[in-house]
A and B are shown apart, each in its own frame.
Chain A
Amino acid sequence: MKKWIPWIAMGLAAAYALAGLGRPKYGTDLDWVGVGELPVLQGGRLKPLDTVARNTLLTFRGKQTLRSEEGTTSALEWLLRALADPGRADKDKVFVIHDPDVLGLLGFQVKDKYFSFDDMGPHLERIRDQAERASKIESKQRTRFQGAVLNLHERLMTYQMLRHTVQDPASESFPSDIRAFVGKLGPGREALRASGGKPRAEDPAIAALADSFTRFQLMAQAGYFRFLPPLAGEGKDDWRNMGEGLLVSLSSGEIHPLAGRYAAMMEAFRKGDKGAFAAELAAIREYLGAHHAGVLRQMGHEFTFNHAGPFYRGIVLYVMAFLLVCFSWLRWSDVLGKAAYRVLLVAFVVHTLGLVARVVLQGRPPVTNLYSSAVFVGWAAVLMAVVIEALFRRGFATAAAAVTGFVTLIIAHHLASTGDTMEMMRAVLDSNFWLGTHVVTITIGYSATFLAGGLAHIYILRGVFSRSFSAEAAKSVAQMVYGVVCFSLLFTFVGTVLGGIWADQSWGRFWGWDPKENGALLIVLWDAIALHARSGNHVGEKGFMVMAVFGNIITAISWFGVNMLGIGLHSYGFMDAALFWLVTFILSQWAVMFIGSLPDRKWKSPVGAAA
């Protein structure tokens, strides 16, 4: 029986991973997959409506679902409500406010955290005033309150834009408005042509159009995303929102074939007419399938990726693997160690599939922003650990890998709340060659330092606190750490130089002492110090482990700390909460270093004596 345990564990892990591919569940029985896959252009790229829904709700509420007394609502269901049925959506508590001063400004009790647009209604003007003040101050100098009120204002603006994207929220029935517009379009255009460039406002045919023109122009400006695909003969980027699409009709005389359909679908949703909804959706999808089949297929892939949530499942699997390793140190070490390793393999496969899916969807190398760097750092560290585990078979690498994979994916999860994780690259960074070489190399360097630091944790903590850590096991961990630090030096060095070459190509400065460059240089220097100190016998085995843990601090600062300086060409943005966690992490590493520096007699296992 016992010998089956590793296989059973692996099977359960795989079953859990595959469950992500099942059909998604929604609160109502509409064709949500069909809706979620509809392509829209937002933030410079085409993405499925589902992605917009998730990212928007994430920035509003910090979560990808909406919880209320009525149960859980998916992001997509909420988004459709906001687009089609503002009256209902205004009651959804989608805005999270953490800042106590902002809560105070609005007169809300601190125990509440989530608010609806209706809750906010009486205070909109006050929020706008404060946001206007804050926007005049440079972002680096803003206080926490100013940053928070500005952020709230932006979210409210986005929410209002959503309402204007597909329809005019003030309209009783937007589809009939469109039909009326179509009726006025012909005579109005005729009158315009007859006026010979000098239209008179008194002309009833022109006056009838002018009213629509004003409304559509407002909608065109306010629309949050663009969902009307380019027509034959137009550029591939010429997607439009409802207002823009109808404005174009003024000059072309034709109504976009999907404009009326989208409006009708939204109305059907508002009225709860499932039959009409399904019919309009099917017609829209049929049109897209006929004219933009490639786009629709791509949206389908991204929808599947969103729904499968490989990184979320990865987090769970890494935790399972880590728990199994910990149990293996107490009992049944052989069987549970194997089980842990196999669960780790499953987690790694899931992690890899997620990473590859992102690369394919985005058409970019794996690391393009801070979020993806977190995903990749974890992936590369786990890959190295899997190789080491395959060579040494001691379970240490499994433990280090599980923790690194778990922590980096958690970090990625939190970084995702700033918006679209597949955002477009700014011009300077828009180079697949350099993203693929420099960025990937340096990120592998980060992974290696973290892995070395992780292994050193095991050495120090087990050496000091348990009696079961044999000198021989310690030696093999020390060897792993030495090898991984060498590897880290190689990759950070090569990555740093490649970065220099990129910088020289981009702005003529091989080395500019930019914070991000300096961060990478610090890792190179520290690795060099550690390796020279060890090879010259200036530190022993234990000392080297302590140095490897310090490598964690340097790497964390290089990775995140420089972003918090808020300066430099590489900086991605300021993060308050991240600062807290960075400091916590650094303190914890100092603590481990302190434990590792305890004199030999405090160590329960007699390791590293003969270094």
Chain B
Amino acid sequence: MNLQRVCRPLADLRLTLFSLGLLMVLVAICTVAQVRMGVFEAVDRYMRGFFVWWHPAALPFPIPVFPGGATAGLLLLLNLLASFVVRLRLVKEQAGLWLIHAGLVGFVAAEFSTGMFAVETLMQISEGQTRNYTESRERIELAIVDPSDAETVSVTAIPASRLRAGRSVSPPGLPFHLITRGYFENAAIAERTTEAPMAVNLATAGTGATRSIFPQEAFGGDQKAQNSPAAFVEVLEGDKSHGVWLLSAMVADPEIVEVAGAKYALSLRHERHYLPFWLTLRDFRHDVYPGTEIPKNFSSLVRLSDPPAGEDRDVLIYMNNPLRYGGKAFYQSGYQGDATTILQVVDNPGWLIPYVAFCVVGAGMLVQFLGHFFGFVPVARGGREADA
């Protein structure tokens, strides 16, 4: 009884209408906003949060100005669950409606799950190469590779968010600490010059000692991945400086720093996510329609090897045909030149939820419509009598 009393206001159909309307407004705004800020940022701003925030220059903190997509989703979810308690009755006539609305819960849940747990990364392999890691599209890390052990390579990664100028980082287990002397989200790199006013010359050691960087305006939104960040870090062993080093995502070779008799390789790179298995690109194909530049098909033939699991086989990844392995899915996403493939790697633990939800909704629709057809469900208009 108590449950009924709590649920009754939540189950109000007007709340349904309000939250659906709210969702419509947000979807519309999010779509238009994509032109300016790109899909990812627009979705983060309008759909993923409980509020849409606004940060006026005069205030030190942002203020919520509008409910966000998460709020609309939550309201719909509560409204739906409450109406299960209040309005729908466990009778044969309402079985279809039950199933349809239960399935809808699944879709909302799936989007919550994607927002919270899904990770998308890229894997770029050239023919003949073997890779056991994927790379983040935008996130940058400072990697310190300790090659002293010949058997295993140990990697210490520091996310770029901790590399603010003036801050000190002490990587655990290493005989030195780092102080960031400068961090630039987007910078070009060239031969050292002291004449150009824009040039930043902070490095005192390594290849950076003969180079300058030129800070540039950072890309935002979907173009974030085009930024090429650069950092100046000072390596300190206790109080003893080993120089200021320039690290740039544009430079492929790491800087080698010698501290306490051991050599460490430092580099700034796209965040890597290591996999417990290896992929080797055996062949990449890229077909166009005859006499045009319109892509017809592209496909990657890869060797998947996972010795502990006893897997060693060829897999063909092509459009609409991903490889699903180890909780991740590898999709053919793009290519570079004729022999380098770009796979999109998605780790979404909730990927099956929409499929299940669709089956539930589908079953509900079948029951509902067959019910109309064979006459065991009156041609009712939903929960009209219950709510009016």
Q: Which residues of A contact B (CB under 8 A)?
A: 41-45, 226, 237-239, 424, 426-428, 430-431, 434, 490, 493-494, 497, 500-502, 504-515, 518-519, 521-522, 525-526, 528-529, 531-538, 562, 565-568
A243 to chain B, nearest CB (A): 13
Report the bound CA distance from A531 to B20 in whole Å.
12
Tell me whether B27 and A521 are in contact (CB under 8 A). yes
Interface residues of B in 295-335 (CB under 8 A from A): 295-298, 319-322, 329, 331, 333
Tell me whether B320 and A434 are in contact (CB under 8 A). yes
List, in ascending order, chain A residues with CB within 8 A of B382's CB.
Answer: 531-532, 535-536
Interface assignment of B7: CB less than 8 Å from any CB of chain A: no
Tell me whether A565 and B331 are in contact (CB under 8 A). no
Q: Which of A42, A532, A562 contacts B16 (CB 8 A)?
A: A532
Interface on chain B toward A: helix, strand, loop, or mixed SS? Answer: helix
Interface assignment of B3: CB less than 8 Å from any CB of chain A: no
Tell me whether B384 and A427 are in contact (CB under 8 A). no
Interface assignment of B281: CB less than 8 Å from any CB of chain A: no
Q: Which of B111, B291, B319 contacts A428 (CB 8 A)?
A: B319
Known: A508-B346, A537-B388. A424 touches B381 (CB 8 A): no
A220 to chain B, nearest CB (A): 11
List, in ascending order, chain B residues with CB within 8 A of A532's CB.
Answer: 13, 16-17, 20, 382
Tell me whether B348 and A508 are in contact (CB under 8 A). yes
Q: 26 A-B pairs, CB-CB below 8 angstroms? A: A41-B290, A44-B290, A239-B291, A424-B294, A424-B296, A426-B295, A493-B361, A501-B358, A507-B333, A510-B114, A510-B351, A513-B31, A513-B39, A513-B43, A514-B39, A518-B31, A525-B23, A535-B384, A536-B382, A537-B384, A537-B387, A537-B388, A538-B13, A565-B32, A566-B35, A567-B35
Residue of B nearest to A509 (CB): B346
Q: What 1/0 flags go to B1-34 for Cβ under 8 Å of A? A: 0000000000001101100110110011011101
Interface assignment of B383: CB less than 8 Å from any CB of chain A: yes
Tell me whether B290 and A525 are in contact (CB under 8 A). no
Tell me whether A426 and B17 are in contact (CB under 8 A). no
Interface contact tally, CB-CB below 8 A:
146
Known: A506-B331, A514-B39. A44 touches B292 (CB 8 A): yes
Interface assignment of B354: CB less than 8 Å from any CB of chain A: yes
B36 to chain A, nearest CB (A): 10
Tell me whether B354 and A497 are in contact (CB under 8 A). yes
List, in ascending order, chain A residues with CB within 8 A of B120's CB.
Answer: 508-509
Tell me whether B319 and A430 are in contact (CB under 8 A). yes
Interface assignment of B47: CB less than 8 Å from any CB of chain A: yes
Interface assignment of B213: CB less than 8 Å from any CB of chain A: no
Tell me whether B42 and A513 are in contact (CB under 8 A). yes
Report the bound CA distance from A521 to B25 in whole Å.
11
Report the bound CA distance from A567 to B34 in whole Å.
8
Report the bound CA distance from A490 to B369 in whole Å.
11
Tell me whether B297 and A430 are in contact (CB under 8 A). yes
Interface residues of B in 260-315 (CB under 8 A from A): 288-292, 294-298
Report the bound CA distance from A538 to B381 in whole Å.
13
Residue of A nearest to B288 (CB): A44
Interface assignment of B110: CB less than 8 Å from any CB of chain A: yes
Residue of A nearest to B16 (CB): A532
Residue among A226, A508, A536 with the most chain B CB within 10 A?
Answer: A508
Question: Looking at chain B, what size class is its interface with the partner chain?
Answer: 35 or more
Q: Which of B16, B23, B322, B388 contacts A505 (CB 8 A)?
A: B322
Tell me whether B333 and A45 are in contact (CB under 8 A). no
Residue among A494, A518, A568 with the most chain B CB within 10 A?
Answer: A518
Tell me whether B34 and A515 are in contact (CB under 8 A). yes
Report the bound CA distance from A515 to B32 in whole Å.
8
- Ranked nearest first, the 5 interchain pairs of A and B with the lowest CB-CB distance are A44-B289, A508-B346, A237-B290, A535-B381, A536-B13
A4 to chain B, nearest CB (A): 39
Tell me whether A568 and B289 are in contact (CB under 8 A). no
Interface assignment of B66: CB less than 8 Å from any CB of chain A: no
Interface assignment of B355: CB less than 8 Å from any CB of chain A: yes
Q: Which of A430, A531, A536 contacts B387 (CB 8 A)?
A: A536
Q: Which residues of B contact A (CB under 8 A)?
A: 13-14, 16-17, 20-21, 23-24, 27-28, 30-32, 34-35, 39, 42-43, 47, 107, 110-111, 114, 120, 288-292, 294-298, 319-322, 329, 331, 333, 344, 346, 348, 351, 354-355, 358, 361-362, 365, 381-384, 387-388
Tell me whether A525 and B42 are in contact (CB under 8 A). no
Residue among A44, A500, A565 with the most chain B CB within 10 A?
Answer: A44
Tell me whether B295 and A427 are in contact (CB under 8 A). yes
Report the bound CA distance from A525 to B73 in whole Å.
13
B273 to chain A, nearest CB (A): 15
Report the bound CA distance from A430 to B355 in whole Å.
23
Report the bound CA distance from A335 to B348 in whole Å.
62
Tell me whether A526 and B291 are in contact (CB under 8 A). no
Q: Which of B298, B346, B381 contacts A427 (CB 8 A)?
A: B298
List, in ascending order, chain A residues with CB within 8 A of B344's CB.
Answer: 507-508
Tell me whether B292 and A508 are in contact (CB under 8 A). no
Known: A508-B348, A525-B23, A536-B384. A431 touches B320 (CB 8 A): yes
Q: Which of A42, A504, A533 contacts B354 (CB 8 A)?
A: A504
Q: Which of B21, B298, B362 contacts A529 (CB 8 A)?
A: B21
A391 to chain B, nearest CB (A): 15
Tell me whether A522 and B319 are in contact (CB under 8 A). no
Residue among B23, B290, B292 with the most chain A CB within 10 A?
Answer: B290
List, in ascending order, chain B residues with CB within 8 A of A518's CB.
Answer: 27-28, 30-31
Q: Which of B291, B320, B321 contacts A42 (CB 8 A)?
A: B291
A224 to chain B, nearest CB (A): 10
Known: A426-B295, A513-B42, A528-B20. A508 touches B331 (CB 8 A): yes
Q: Which of B111, B331, B346 contacts A511 (CB 8 A)?
A: B111
A448 to chain B, nearest CB (A): 15
Report the bound CA distance from A519 to B30 in whole Å.
11
List, in ascending order, chain A residues with CB within 8 A of B23's CB.
Answer: 525
A9 to chain B, nearest CB (A): 36
Report the bound CA distance from A544 to B75 in whole Å.
24
Tell me whether A431 and B358 are in contact (CB under 8 A). no
Tell me whether A424 and B292 are in contact (CB under 8 A). yes
List, in ascending order, chain A residues with CB within 8 A of B294's CB.
Answer: 44, 424, 426
Tell me whether A427 and B292 are in contact (CB under 8 A). no
A483 to chain B, nearest CB (A): 10
Tell me whether B39 and A41 are in contact (CB under 8 A). no
Known: A43-B292, A525-B23, A567-B35. A538 touches B14 (CB 8 A): yes
Residue among B291, B320, B329, B387 with the most chain A CB within 10 A?
Answer: B291
List, in ascending order, chain B residues with CB within 8 A of A226's CB.
Answer: 291
A138 to chain B, nearest CB (A): 12
